[in-house]
Structure 1
């Protein structure tokens, strides 16, 4: 089945691409979620118009993302967690924790855009990548400190 992607789909393609997918994947996932439309002759002409507007939108989003990178470079987040032996955290710092603290500082960034390979489970300083756009990635400085035990 050939479909035209309306949105970027990870491991499949970008907005406006014509791709071949399995019948079930297209019919049961891509089409109902409005991520794609069937590749007919009429839809292909419509998609050419959509591609032009998508290029303009992508350029605008990239510009906004680059401005946000400049603002995020100055941001440093600090988390305090209880630590055990060898400075190993009892909990961890996840992308949801980072997104929540960024929102408290006035940045509305989705948790899914924060690309932590695995949660931070040790004390130290980390550079956490945030994928704001397909071509733009910011790096946020995250410091994890050990919480002082009450005497």
Structure 2
């Protein structure tokens, strides 16, 4: 079933997108909730005309999203979490955790626009914040053991590199 979205639907698309969904989802949820209309030829013509008239408004929304993305440029998060001896987290780091850490830095971001797989181990990850369908910002997220000093967390990464260099001459 082809539909035109009347508002942003997380995981499906953005306002004025034409999307294909299963007929039950469209007929039983999207259309009754007012989130979409059937994409008939006349509805597509109306959409095209509306997009022409709203081009400057859409450009302003994109510019605002680019400003928000620029504000997050250079931001890197370090999240301390309780960790077992094997490096496995007790629980996980989610988009809600990332949103809370950004709020502590004074950057208010809705958790629903943060795309991140649940993190269950210590390490480096990337969170993507989607402000607009064409504008997104990547935030590096480092998960460390709670209570461990930063030097101890960085030290194993430094020790691994010389060990790999030492193995290379032996292999020759």
Q: TM-score, normalised by structure 1?
A: 0.74
Structure 2: 5+ residue runs without aligned partners? 149-172
Structure 1: 5+ residue runs without aligned partners? none
Partner of 2:108: 108
Q: Give the deviation of 1:71 after TM superposition.
A: 1.4
Q: Give the deviation of 1:84 after TM superposition.
A: 0.9
Partner of 1:70: 70
Aligned partner of residue 100 in structure 1, secondary structure:
helix
Deviations 1:14-45 (A, max 9, x none): 54456676664433222222222355787566
Q: Equivalents in 1 of 2:43, 2:123: separation in Å?
A: 52
The answer as to 2:33 corresponding to 1:33 is yes
Partner of 1:128: 127
Q: Give the deviation of 1:63 after TM superposition.
A: 1.4
Deviations 1:79-134 (A, max 9, x none): 11111122221121111111122223332322221111x21122223222222211
Contact 1:88-1:121 within 8 A present in 2 as well: yes
RMSD: 3.1
Higher helix share: 2
Q: TM-score, normalised by structure 2?
A: 0.67
Larger Rg: 2
Partner of 2:118: 119
Q: Give the deviation of 1:51 after TM superposition.
A: 1.8
Q: Give the deviation of 1:146 after TM superposition.
A: 0.7
Aligned partner of residue 85 in structure 1, secondary structure:
coil
Contact 1:15-1:54 within 8 A present in 2 as well: no
- Greater length-normalized contact order (CA 8 Å, ≥ 6 residues apart): 1
Aligned partner of residue 83 in structure 2, secondary structure:
coil
